Structure 1
Amino acid sequence: MADEVARRLVHATGATVPLSHLLAPDLVTWRVVQWFMFVCVVVAVALEYARLFVGLDWAIYDRLTREYEQDNPAGYALYMVGMGLVAAAVGLPGFDTAIAVPAMLMLAIGDPISGLLGSADASAVKQTWVLLAMFGVCTLLAAPFVPPAAAVLGGVAATFADGVKPTVRGFVVDDNFSIPVFSAVAMWVGVTVLANVTAPA
């Protein structure tokens, strides 16, 4: 249980990246966020290559990785890649920080809450009430940034990603990657597509 709490605390530190931009946008511009995440992704990918193919075996991996990650890309690396993709997408048509920030917060804050709530359950499938809590937290995180419909879509996508971990060619697609990416895409749909559909003629 102590290792689980440690993982969740490390997980939550990722919130400092988008929050730093919100609190000091002139100092921590989004370009700074993008470059910071780029560096994090490069370092994480290099460490994972060394761990999986060279044999790097630091003791911290035993504490911060799960059993299924021993032969798969670890969650921390997928965390960096997911956050990095969302950060890099800002500037694409219809995609701005109002989408990127809540998507990153859903991973950094929503996922640890869901993980701690579900850690008492020994089954591989999260209980319905845990998923509902994840949906509520993520929707509330998005509500200050995007319209209500987009916030709900983002919450649904994050909850789906939290509850489902597909395996692609033997590799587990961890929710550390899918939560920010899926929720960002869903909110983008809510902001752009739904806005156009509901706009008066």
Structure 2
Amino acid sequence: MADELKRRLVHASGSGLVALYLLAQYLEFGLTWEYFRYLMVVLSVVVVALEFVRLRVGLEWWLYDKLTREYEQDQFAGYGYYMLSMTAVVLVFQPAIALPAMLMLAIGDPISGAVSDDSLKRVKGPKVLVTMFVVSAALAAPFLLEYPLAVLAAALGSTIADGVKVQVGEFIVDDNLTIPIYAAVAAWIVLEFAPV
């Protein structure tokens, strides 16, 4: 349980990337969206390199034991998918879409995990789904205040990504990969095609 709490806190720490960007904007520090994209790419490259070293060279840090789950010991870990998905939405979308999508992963996912019974159901229970939807909508609202349909779409996208397991053959797609992508794509579709 203690390790699970540590994992959730580390998960939530990803919101610091969003805070960094927003604070830089507020202070007119010069961290443009373009530079933020470069930062995210660099962080993703570092994570992929760490995973390569861990899986191919056999580097075993105590941190890996604490922050990875047992099934991740011999495969690409969830934190790698986490960084790659955040980077993907930052590269493809503008801040109003990408930043809340990042927060849905960093904050929404650990909160929904806290109310989950940790069972391996294909579709999570109503309490988890409603929690994820409400938290995601609350995270998206400040960024998309003028577009309530986009807020709802992003929240629905993240809820589906978090609440419905996708399996391709023997591989279960990690929700760390899908939450920001589903949320961002759903919001973008509404902003592009729905009547305002």
When normalised by structure 1's length, the TM-score is 0.88
Aligned to 2:67: 64
Task: Report whether the alignment pairs 1:102 with 2:100.
Answer: yes
Report the count of equivalent residues. 189
**Equivalent residue number for residue 136 of structure 2:** 138
Distance 1:70 1:164, change over 3 A: farther
Q: Are 1:18 and 1:33, in contact at CA under 8 Å, matched by a contact in 2?
A: no
Give the match for residue 159 of structure 2: 159
Match of 1:93 in 2: none
Q: Which runs of 5+ in 1 are unaligned?
A: 91-95
Q: How does 1:41-190 map to 2 (within 5 A)?
A: 41-90=44-93, 96-118=94-116, 121-125=117-121, 126-146=124-144, 147-190=147-190
Residue 13 (structure 2) pairs with residue 13 (structure 1):
yes
8 A contact 1:17–1:33 mirrored in 2: no
Report if aligned partners of 2:151, 2:187 keep a CA contact under 8 Å in 1: yes
Runs of 4+ in 1 over 4 A off after TM superposition: none
Letter aligned with residue 46 of structure 2: V
Counterpart-to-counterpart distance in 2, 1:123 and 1:84: 29
Distance (Å, rounded) in 1 between the aligned partners of 2:173 and 2:44: 17
1:70-101 CA-to-partner distances (Å, cap 9, x unmatched) read: 232101110000001111113xxxxx211011
- Structure 1 residues 7 and 15, CA, compared in 2 at 3 Å: closer, same or farther? same
Change (3 A) 1:64 1:154: same
Bigger shift: residues 164-173 or 101-110: 164-173
Q: CA RMSD in A?
A: 1.5
TM-fit CA distance, 1:34? 1.1
**Greater shift in the superposed pair: 1-10 or 164-173:** 164-173
Give the AA of the match of 1:65. Answer: T
User: What secondary structure sits across from 1:167 in the alignment?
Assistant: strand
